[in-house]
Amino acid sequence: MFSKLIAGMFGLVLLGGALPSVAQVAPVPPVYGRRHIYSETANPKADIAAALKQARLEHKRVLLDFGGDWCGDCQVLDIYMHREPNQTLLTKNFVLVHVFIDAMMAQDDKNIQLGAAYGVPITKGVPALAVLNPYGKILYSQKTGEFEDMRHMDPQSVNEFLTRWKG
């Protein structure tokens, strides 16, 4: 009986020792495959103008998402944005505009210049976000690549961002 008790306690100690290391592992999103999110042929200035018009009509804010289909962190951000409760926060409070950024991030790329116009230094990494009021005033622009390591973050970080900037 005593040996079974000691063996059981030893097993609990081993199991207990394993749990903290498991709990520290970063969340890994499910694998869905790459989705087509960012259009290389879109006119982002026209898309933003249309989004601002829609935001005024619907009393929402505009969320600019700079990134590319080639970017794994951009794919993860999109997955997290479209999981509940984030999906509801997003559709209820924002008009989302995806702005394509080429993987080479050439300084003469018009969309990188557009990011700079909204205070988003694309060269710090993508995905990069900006939030505008319905009249185009910048309320938030990502300055330091906060979401560039999205695959090591969790959906709650997106929820906190959307909640903070929903207005």
pLDDT tens sequence across 47-105: 999 999 999 999 999 999 999 999 999 999 999 999 999 999 999 999 999 999 998 87
Which one is predicted more confidently, 159 or 9? 159
Residue 42's closest CA among 64, 60, 59? 64
Query: Is pLDDT at 13 greater than 70 in this prediction?
Result: no
Q: What are the backbone angles phi and psi of residue 7, rounded to the nearest 5°?
A: -60, -40
pLDDT confidence of residue 33: 63
pLDDT confidence of residue 141: 96
Long-range contacts of residues 159-164, Cβ cutoff 8 Å, at least 24 apart: 159/85, 159/86, 159/89, 161/129, 162/81, 162/86, 162/89, 162/90, 162/93, 162/94, 163/89
Query: Is pLDDT at 21 greater than 70 in this prediction?
Result: no
- Give mean pLDDT, residues 122-127: 90
Which one is predicted more confidently, 125 or 32? 125
**pLDDT band, very low/low/confident/very high, at 120 (cuts 50, 70, 90):** very high
Average pLDDT of the chain? 84
pTM for the model stands at 0.78
d(CA 98, CA 155): 19
